Amino acid sequence: MLTHPRTALSTKDAKNPAPSIATEQRPLQRFKGHQNTAKNVVRASFGPREAGSEDGAVYVWDVATGKLLEKLLGHSGVTSSSFDSDDEGDVGEESVESSDKQKLVMEAVCKSCENPYDYNLHLSALSALSGDRVYASQLEQQFERFHEAFPLSLELWLQYIELNPEKLPESFQDYLLPALYYKYVDDLDDDDAKDAEDRWSVVLRALGSHWTECENVYHLYRAFLTDSIDDAATLNARVRSSYQGQLLNPYFEGSDRVLSEYRAWSQYQPNPADFTGEQDSIQRRIHSSSALLAKMQTFERNLDKADAADVSALQTLWLEYANFVVSRVSTLGCGVVVSVLERSVAAVCLSGELWGRYLTFLQDKRMKCLDVAKRAVRNVPFESAPWVALFVSMEMEGSTSAEAIHQVGADLCGRQPSPLDQEKRLEVLLAFCDAARRSGSHELLLQAFTMSKPRWVELWDEVLQHRSHEVCAWQSCISECLRVGGTVQETRGYFKRGVAAATDYPVVLAEAWVVFERELGDHVQFWIEAKRRYALLLRQYYVSEVSSSDKSESRKRLLAAEDGSNTGKKEVLDRRQAEYKKQRLSDDTNKTVFLCELDKAITNDDLLNLFAS
């Protein structure tokens, strides 16, 4: 709040006002605050330097009369910095201009605080604060808030590090940016050899497999060794070890030059012949991988020629490159593959496909991926795969408590608007529920279903009222009861009701009741009761089966008898029909011929000739 030079401003209780100047004028301007932890307020340079209060309120009163003029709701947190107005005196044009600028700056800062996951609002706040060195401390705090929600680009990191050089190691958590790693080993303290070695270890681990930076970073490292080690034997051993480590996987630009440099260096050592076998082995490895190196060189040239503004084409190139090196991981080694994947997500940080490819590779190789999953969520929170991978890795690596998993899920649910669409949000929430169930187990389930339990019971009673005769309905109800953390007594009650009400397959439910009492029962008498009920239903089932079987056999015999009688009648009819047919055929073929006026001496041949004619 900005006041007239004679207006008292304090954040203490009105009954114990701090020393200030009395006035009868009202405040000139009021600055809108927020409910987050306060780190910036506007104050007059003449007033008491206080902000934040026990009750979170700001009081304005007339010191002369002690009358409370106004009570303003302030920040609930403790303020660490503030904005000053002009020096004492009348409010002139310069003061008004300064006040307007402060108002714009404050509005930009407050908007970014109210919407911590709005990237553009953070950039606007940084732009507003960067114009004046007076706001240096506020600018640093804005960078801190910005980095809590999002990773920073190289330009932003350079600006942030200029304000606070100690933040440089935090930049390694965002992207693989060689410039920041080189800055990390600049101006090393000669008196702290341990710190220098640790820093170089970090840099070599990050850039030692980099296609374009490997040669340069090892060259700088050997220069550091030469400057920091006085003992010749120790220096030679360390330099040789650096060459061996660099050429262990010679899949980088300039590997042949490094080998030539290694050969030249070895000629100045006491026993050059000791290096010959090792160097020849490296030479053969490079020669056998010439086709692989040529293919990688082609990818690198295509990436150099690609238009950075064409994100889609750039993503396609990086994805092809990543898939290629992953398919050759047995030859290249995981270090080279991880380096390419790191470079890809640094070049196209908003690519869900590249982050997903990175996470898939780590999971396939059973490598730790918790840190990468956290980075992926910060870069592409609108994709479901990084969130799922985060919950899975938090659970698998075992170093994360159930409370931490719950906190991540709560933070995601609290984001407004949600970065995920409805379908992806559902997928992520299912993964969160699975992780919470496995890590928090029974306690979290009981907490989740405490309020919904009465309604759950009411709905299932309604379902069972209409489908009490179906065993499948009782099985579903019992399964859900166990899933929501129902007690043994509640589950047993459903078994008793189901066994008594089901009419289709009650013996199945009774058998499940026996198993339940054996596994989860709290007293043997309930197991005996379930066993007795199961035996009774089983006997009834067998009796009904035998009865139905007897009825079936009787019916079969009756049908067979009827069928036999019908068969006899049919045979008689068939026989009569055959005789009638035979008689008809006989009548057609056997004809009687009456002859007269024949000679008694006629022969058989004569008769045949007669009929033939």
Number of structural domains, the chain? 4
Q: Residues 114, 79: one domain?
A: yes
225 and 143 co-located in one domain? no
Same domain, 47 and 116: yes
- What pLDDT does 77 receive? 44
**467 shares its domain with 569:** yes
Whether residue 352 is contained in a domain is answered as no
Cα distance between residue 171 and residue 181, in whole Å? 9
Q: Is 121 helix (H, G, I), strand (E, B) or coil?
A: helix
The confidence score (pLDDT) of residue 213 equals 95
Structure tokens at 413: 């649910």
Q: Identify the sign of the CA torsion 251, 252, 253, 255.
A: negative
On whether both 377 and 443 belong to a single domain, the answer is: yes
Given this model, what pLDDT does residue 89 score?
Answer: 47
pTM of the model: 0.63
Asked whether the beta carbons of 437 and 447 are under 8 A apart, the reply is no
- Closest alpha carbon to 129 in 145, 142, 115: 142
Polymer length in residues for the chain: 613
Q: What is the sign of the dihedral through the CA atoms of 177, 182, 188 and 193?
A: positive
Q: Residue 116 falls within a domain, yes or no?
A: yes
Q: What three-state secondary structure class fits 207?
A: helix
Give the pLDDT confidence score for residue 379 in this predicted structure.
95
CA-closest candidate to residue 211, choices 169, 250, 153 = 250
| 438: in domain | yes
In-domain check, residue 338: no
Q: Same domain, yes or no, for 48 and 143?
A: yes
**So what's the pLDDT on residue 5?**
34
What is the rounded distance in angstroms from the CA atom of residue 354 to the CA atom of residue 322?
8
State the SS3 of 342-405.
Answer: HHHHHHCCCCHHHHHHHHHHHHHCCCCCHHHHHHHHHHCCCCHHHHHHHHHHHHHCCCCCHHHH
- With residue 61 as reference, give the H or E element that holds it: strand 57-62
What per-residue confidence (pLDDT) applies to 512?
Answer: 93
Angle between helices 384-396 and 402-414 (to 10 degrees): 160
Closest CA to 405 of 417, 393, 414, 421: 393
Choose among 377, 382, 374, 379: nearest CA to 424: 382
Structure tokens at 177: 């940016």
What is the torsion angle, in degrees rounded to the nearest 10, for the CA atoms of residue 434, residue 435, residue 438 and residue 440? -120
CA distance linking residue 359 with residue 347, whole number of Å: 17
The whole domain housing 411 covers 368-448
Are 470 and 568 part of one and the same domain? yes
Query: Could you give the residue ranges of the DSSP H alpha helices within 365-505?
Result: 370-379, 384-396, 402-414, 422-448, 453-466, 471-483, 488-501
Tokens standing for 164?
A: 């606070």
State how far the Cα of 124 lies from the Cα of 138, in Å rounded to an integer: 14
Please tell me the distance from the alpha carbon of residue 345 to that of residue 365, in angstroms, as a whole number: 19
What is the distance between the alpha carbons of residues 495 and 500, in angstroms, rounded to a whole number?
9
- Residue 263: enclosing H or E segment and its boundaries? helix 255-266
Asked, for residue 598, whether it belongs to a domain, the answer is no
Please list the residues that pair with 71 across neighbouring strands.
Answer: 59
By CB atoms closer than 10 A (0-12, 13-18, 19+), residue 385 is buried
Which of the listed residues 384, 413, 448 is the one where a domain comes to its end? 448
Q: What is the pLDDT of residues 285-339, one digit of tens each?
A: 999 999 999 999 999 999 999 998 899 999 999 999 999 999 999 999 999 999 9
First to last CA, the chain: 148
Q: Bridge-partner residues for 67, per DSSP?
A: 62
Give the burial string for 232-243 (b: 16+ CB within 10 Å, else e): eeeebebbbebb
Residue 83 belongs to a domain: yes
Q: Which of 400, 419, 448 is the last residue of a domain?
A: 448
* Co-location of 218 and 275 in the same domain: yes
Same domain, 201 and 220: yes
Q: What is the pLDDT of residue 325?
A: 95
Same domain, 405 and 464: no
Provide the pLDDT for residue 401: 74
Q: What digits encode the pLDDT tens for the residues 251-288?
A: 999 999 999 999 999 999 988 899 999 999 999 999 99
Give percent helix, percent strand, percent coil of the chain, each to the nearest 5: 65, 5, 30
CA-only gyration radius of the chain, Å: 46
The residue among 150, 172, 207 that closes a domain is 150
Q: Which residue has the tokens 């379902």?
A: 463
- Shared domain for 556 and 478, answered yes or no, is yes
pLDDT value, residue 104: 86
Per-run averaged pLDDT (10 residues), the chain, 613 residues: 36 38 40 45 40 52 57 49 46 60 86 90 90 85 93 94 93 95 86 87 95 95 92 93 93 94 93 91 92 95 92 95 94 94 96 95 92 94 94 81 83 88 91 79 62 81 92 92 86 93 91 91 89 90 67 62 61 75 63 63 77 69
Alpha helices in 449-597 (DSSP H): 453-466, 471-483, 488-501, 506-520, 524-589
Asked whether 420 and 428 are in contact (CB, 8 A), the reply is yes
Residue 330 lies in a domain: no
Q: Is 475 in the same domain as 583?
A: yes
* Residue 593 placed within a domain: no
